[in-house]
Amino acid sequence: MARGKHGKEKDPVGSEPLLGAGKEDSGAYGTEAHDDARFYMGVDRESLINTPESGLTEEEAARRLELFGPNQLSVKEDNMWLKLALEFVQPMPMMIWAAILIESIETYIHQSMDGLVDVIVLVVLQLLNVLVGFIEEMKAGDAIAALRESLKPEATVKREGRVYIINATKLVPGDVVVLGAGGAIPADCTIREGKPIQVDQSALTGESLPVAMFPGADAKMGSTVTRGEIEATVTATGSQTFFGKTADLVQGVDELGHFEKVLREITYILVAVGFFICALVFIYLISIGVDFWEVLAFNVVLLVASIPIALRVVCTTTLALGCHELAAEKAIVARLSSVEELAGMTILCSDKTGTLTLNKMVLQDDLPTFVPGVSREEVLRLAALAAKWWEPAKDALDTLVLNAVNISELDVFEQTDHTPFDPVIKRTESTIKSKDGKSFKVTKGAPHVVLDMCVNKSSVGQEVEKKVLELAHRGIRSLAVARTKNETKDFEFIGILTFLDPPRPDTKHTIDCANEFGVSVKMITGDHRAIAVETCRTLGMGTNVLGTEKLPLMKAEELEKATTLGRDYGELCRKADGFAQVFPEHKYLIVEALRQQGMLVGMTGDGVNDAPALKRADVGIAVQGATSAAQAAADIVLTEPGLSTIVTAIVTSRKIFQRMKNFVIYRVACTEQLLFFFFISCVFYHPNEINAAWPSHFAIPVIALVTITILNDGTIISVAYDNVHASMQPEKWDLNILYIVSSAIGLTALASSLLILSVALSSADPTSAWREFGLPALSYGEIQTLMYLKISLSDYFSVFNSRTKGWFWSRAPSFILVGAFIFATAASTLLAVYWPFGNGMIGISWELSGYVWLYVAFWAIIQDAGKVLTYNTLQYFGWVESVAVIDERKLKDQTQQLFGVDVE
């Protein structure tokens, strides 16, 4: 088997660059500077980096570590205990503290054991309310913390003449590090003397192909060495690197999330209504001579019981359970509320390189030839002969060429001379001897360079130039191949190899699904515009890809304060299919402009240059293999390649949203029933007019109200497991519609409660409707217990009314929800029959509790009819859209058919 003779091989001075696609942008850090040209953190820069060949001494390295700090980004750490303490002084917990204080004073004044029980139950309610939500949030945070902890960067350093591996956080400016193939560049460095290396900067610039770095070049933290080995001097560490400068923009973003705003608005409205109603009740009861502390305790507990104390806890638990579902689907959630925001996401801005594409060049089928009778295979074979085919490939393009041919077929040739790629002449050349003893030359390189040296330029030149221009406009990289018929230099232009960083196999399906689900996908990349246009065209995303000529390059502090981005650039960003050649500040601007237009914006990315936009987006998604900066900035971190996980996450998040919306409808309905019932029963019902021994107003004891709250909110957490369908369109909180539907349910329940109270109070009258049913007359304590049971059961039945837009039987509930319903209603019934807490309430018979069950079940059907009528009316007037639901089985089948194996 013939092997090539090395001949007069010239020293390599570089590796083959990107050809035929035009000038590339210099990346996202082209103009950045540390302190200034002369000083680094107040120290003369030249003195820092003028390191001897042997490297720093250990003593000097320790001194600089103390002076400049570790090579790591500053991260805001939350004090867990302080965070827990602050949870107890939020508005809702403060109301419970007020109830506990007032009830304690009332208990002390009246020396009542019943009041002590009330206090204990309120304290239990407080602890449950705060701790459940806090623990669930901590669990979700631990998952992402564990992921970050798993990233243990190391660096090979040279100190005192010894080369060894250290934790990269121990690097200091002036350290000599060894950069080798496959390793990450651990800090900003300047390349020292030696042969050039190939560096993948895609995480910084979005550029797919590795670039050659020569002595004196600046290598940035976050890049990866793909070929070669060389020493470099560290010029900046930690927050002074480009990595760290970008993180400053990330750290500057901190505001209240969309979900928290919605919860606060719902809570504030209900609290305002509750305060108003309770104030009226308080004034009335005081005016008729009821004891001040008794009235105050009753009203505060009524307010606690009626407003959604557990709203945040239940929603947090629902979100946390959703986070576990997403983790099983390879998506780790770092911020709970991002799940709700993902459900409402209307625009997904995606980085191109490594996210939409594979981040590796692939030889394209399009291989134009310019000599009659020459096949695609022949052009590839000639291209391989222009390299050292018997050795491992030295760059990305040679790797693709050699993998595309049968190497054994080249063994009949002998390479007698080889000139490696030279960035000056932009081509490589080999002299080849065939088995019949004849020699010829073959070259490959930049199309315009190769064409200029070919004898057939006059006949094929125009066609070649047209093809190269067409490929460049499409963002496809090209490499020309030519040969001679003998050892002369009469080269003949043979053909053009084409290369492209192709979309991932799952990308188009993911984008199609996102579009079908009402999410518009836009590409944002630092790569060349032509490449971005071609990628968008291939994926069916449109071709309206804009450069940055219409977007200003603003500083981080300017972006954070800008309030007119939506007005100035929102429409431009909304209409564009993508943006190319952008800097991190541009990505941030695009995301913020869309947000200021009222859209919920998602952003996917993997590099340092994506981090600011990831943080600013409503939903930042770091894809698998993302840098630690991107992961730290993101709300969701994918642990599986590609974007298909996002489709699953969208479906899951919309189901989670549906569960929360159902719960909010239910809780508002319960609040309306409870508040208005006690207002009306206290002010307009006068039991003493029926029986002089009875009080002047109707109410039930504090313990009964708290019991309703604990059983109600404690078991309703089961909605987190309910069976729901994901909407085909992004979800949003339309609070007006929510209040209307809640009122249809709650006010119907209120009417049924007032009706049964009226009948029960008249039970002493032998001619009353109550007695006509053969029921015995009731004492006041029994009437209180009966109303406790009725209100409790109405609340639990309302769960089923709230969970569907159609009839409650149109979608089966989960077994867990049914189990919780059985437990809560059984507990309430047992308490009503065997009431153990005194406070004047008396247990009722099993027979009477059975009648209450029948009564509540009958009215639950009426409530459901009212709800269905309400939805139909809202749809008729166009206030609510009839939105289809996602067929998850169909989606799963499609995904399995397209990707039966793991996508690489």
Three-state secondary structure call for residue 8? coil
CA–CA dist 778, 772 (Å, integer): 14
CA–CA dist 489, 768 (Å, integer): 117
CA–CA dist 626, 616 (Å, integer): 17
Give the active site residues.
351
Listed in sequence order, the residues at least 6 apart from 544 whose beta carbon sits closer than 8 Å to its beta carbon are 575, 576, 577, 578
CA–CA dist 216, 119 (Å, integer): 74
Smallest CA-to-CA distance from 525 within 510, 540, 546 is with 546
CA–CA dist 826, 816 (Å, integer): 15
DSSP string, 52-101: -TT-B-HHHHHHHHHHH--SS---PPP-HHHHHHHHTTSHHHHHHHHHHH
Compute the residue count for the chain. 904
DSSP string, 577-626: SEE-S--HHHHHHHHHHHHHTT--EEEEE-SGGGHHHHHHSSEEEEPTT-
DSSP string, 819-847: HHHHHHHHHHHHHHHS--S-TT-----HH
CA–CA dist 361, 479 (Å, integer): 13
CA–CA dist 802, 805 (Å, integer): 8
State which amino acid sits at residue 46.
E
602: β partners: 348, 619
CA–CA dist 481, 469 (Å, integer): 17
Three-state secondary structure call for residue 176? strand
First CA to last CA distance, the chain: 36
CA–CA dist 270, 210 (Å, integer): 59
CB atoms near residue 414 (< 10 Å): 18
Residue with tokens 């994506």: 610
